[in-house]
Structure 1
């Protein structure tokens, strides 16, 4: 039913891929059933030259190692109590990644409701830590590839009205604070709140 995007999809230049991911679907086959969300917000991190990227300056640690791998790999990391989901982007040895910041629930809403139903539906998946909780995505997917079940990016519909702006929560990164590397669907209620 859900068909993964081809591996070649991930070979686009990072900023282009960040836009192209909008409208595609994150699909997770869980023990409870399938949960899927349409990507409505992303943030690109441009690697070695980007002060906001974990791999800035060529940093290579156990955490960032996967960013040096092939495009389309899953880069998960923990921030406080949240797991954040990223797509490795850029050629091998070019450590770039795209954070999936928000999705719009499209399938498995009753499963998401069990995990997030104590709050309004608009808040279930409107942020990078929220969507992984709602979809049951954990650190175990670090190094997995988005073309392989049980966690894939599947073909969706293109987004026609895309807006760009600065990324969220990256203070103390010099000029990188202002780079317009956050892409989102205009007017979508599931886009995270920009403070």
Structure 2
């Protein structure tokens, strides 16, 4: 597997969100490699995007989102589910891509349809906040044999509070993939 370089993330958030589809999320825990194929993502474009956490300003929670690209932004929702994002674009921009669903490839137990479930299956929690996603133990890699697929764009999930930003087609998924969380 070839780990994606930092330059992959230092581009338009929408482009990164689409191009992450089909890539492999890898987390090595106690010598066991957990692997899932990324099949659904959401783009959060920075402080001007009212659905992005950075729209409320720079806080201790969102600090990593303003850092260099290629780092993990992990946060807790509903008090029980961790969610994983990768920071995108130039340092100081405050944008990221949320991972919504994975197709299990190796050593995953439980569901992977939804950001909280995929984090549970991958062993991802807030201890990985700020982790470099170009590292040896937690990274995103290009598959050895990429598959062709069609990308579907839809509005993001659960951001009704964001006004006009709620209806923007910033959720991307692989058409007809059985592991997508919502069609």
- Structure 1 segments, 4+ long, off by >3 Å, are none
Distance across 2 between alignment mates of 1:48 and 1:83: 22
2:40 is aligned with 1:41: yes
After superposition, the C-alpha distances for 1:59-90 in whole angstroms (9 at most, x for unaligned) are: 01000000001111100000020010000011
| 1:103-142 aligned within 5 A | 103-108=102-107, 112-113=108-109, 116=110, 124-142=111-129
Distance across 2 between alignment mates of 1:34 and 1:187: 27
| 1:7-22 aligned within 5 A | 7-22=6-21
| 1:41-80 aligned within 5 A | 41-56=40-55, 59-80=57-78
After superposition, the C-alpha distances for 1:14-59 in whole angstroms (9 at most, x for unaligned) are: 11011000011000001261110000000000111101000115x0
- Which structure has the highest helix share of the two? 1
2:164 is aligned with 1:175: yes
Pick from 177, 185, 194 the counterpart of residue 174 of structure 2. Answer: 185
Distance across 1 between alignment mates of 2:158 and 2:100: 12
Q: Secondary structure at the match of 1:49?
A: coil
Distance across 1 between alignment mates of 2:11 and 2:171: 17
Partner of 1:161: 150
Q: Is the 8 A contact 1:35 1:107 kept in 2?
A: yes
Distance across 2 between alignment mates of 1:161 and 1:49: 29
TM-score of the superposed pair, with normalisation by structure 1 = 0.89
TM-score of the superposed pair, with normalisation by structure 2 = 0.94
Q: Is the 8 A contact 2:11 2:90 kept in 1?
A: no
Partner of 1:89: 88
Distance across 1 between alignment mates of 2:46 and 2:61: 14
Unpaired segments ≥5 residues, structure 2: none
